[in-house]
Structure 1
Amino acid sequence: MLKDKDSAAIVAVSDIARAKGFYADTLGLDLVHGDDNMLIFKTGATQLVVYVSDYAGTNQANAVVWGLGDEIEAIAAVLREKGVRFEHYPHMGMDYTGGVHSSGDFRAVWLKDPDGNILHLNNM
């Protein structure tokens, strides 16, 4: 039924103009559609839908995940240079250097968009 259909991530925001700046300029996503209530960005082979909602930023779990492979440290460095602040989760018991959590071969970065939505980057 759905296994052969495309899907997209969707994130609620309170300010569409601010979200456009963050997702397009800071994260470098390509905007493919936009209006006063919704933005659609191309991200790899999928899409990220950003829409205005009174419930923006209330999710306390990962909203979107990107698999970056071996580029994770380089991309984290670029984001850090753009002023992105990374989350640090010491309770996870992972090493933490330059915003990147690591354990064995696994590496991950967590950051928040301007509404507090949690975005996850990893090397998988």
Structure 2
Amino acid sequence: MSGIQEKASSAIVAVGDIERARRFYSDMLGLELVQDGMEDVLVYKTGATHLVVYPSEFAGTNKANAVVWDCGADLDAIAADLRAKGVQFERYEMEGVTYKDGVHDADGFKMVWFKDPDGNILHLNSA
């Protein structure tokens, strides 16, 4: 038997309105919907993993990052694409970190935060 460290994992996000979430994650973010037949549960492919979106009365109550994408050198281009689609970025003040066009830059390590329609915090970084 293999341990948990060898098993795949997925991010999971609670939303208040599944159709609004479908429009955001499919159209705004451009994620590939790979499954939607489980009673209002949406499964998106994101690289080698999956993002599960499901309805919950507790949607948007998490005040920390819900999902993070490691974007590498593509971060600036991805941020520009999201900005062009109307995604509003969060701005956080951090010592030694500059901010321009939605991108926080900590001496070359770049970070972007934005929220889905339910207030779930989504994060991109250049790792």
- Bucket of the pairwise TM-score, normalised by the shorter protein: over 0.9
Please list every run of at least 4 consecutive aligned residues from structure 1 whose deviation after the TM superposition is greater than 2 angstroms. Answer: none
Give the one of 52, 76, 81 matched to 1:78.
Answer: 81
Partner residue of 1:49? 52
Structure 1: where are the runs of 5+ without partners? none
Q: Across the two proteins, how many residue pairs are aligned to each other?
A: 123
Normalising by structure 2, what TM-score?
Answer: 0.94
Deviation at 1:123, TM superposition (A): 0.3
Deviation at 1:37, TM superposition (A): 2.0
Give the one of 108, 113, 118 matched to 1:110.
Answer: 113
One-letter amino acid matched to 2:65: N
Report Cα offsets for 1:30-65 as digits up to 9, x if no partner: 001114421000000000000000000000000000
Deviation at 1:68, TM superposition (A): 0.4
Task: Give the secondary structure class of the aligned counterpart of 2:5.
Answer: coil
One-letter amino acid matched to 1:57: G
1:63 pairs with 2:57: no
One-letter amino acid matched to 2:118: D
One-letter amino acid matched to 1:102: D
Partner residue of 2:4? 2
Partner residue of 2:40? 37
1:21 pairs with 2:23: yes
Partner residue of 1:99? 102
Task: Give the secondary structure class of the aligned counterpart of 1:3.
Answer: helix
Deviation at 1:105, TM superposition (A): 1.8
**Using the alignment, how far apart are the partners of 1:77 and 1:105 within structure 2?**
17
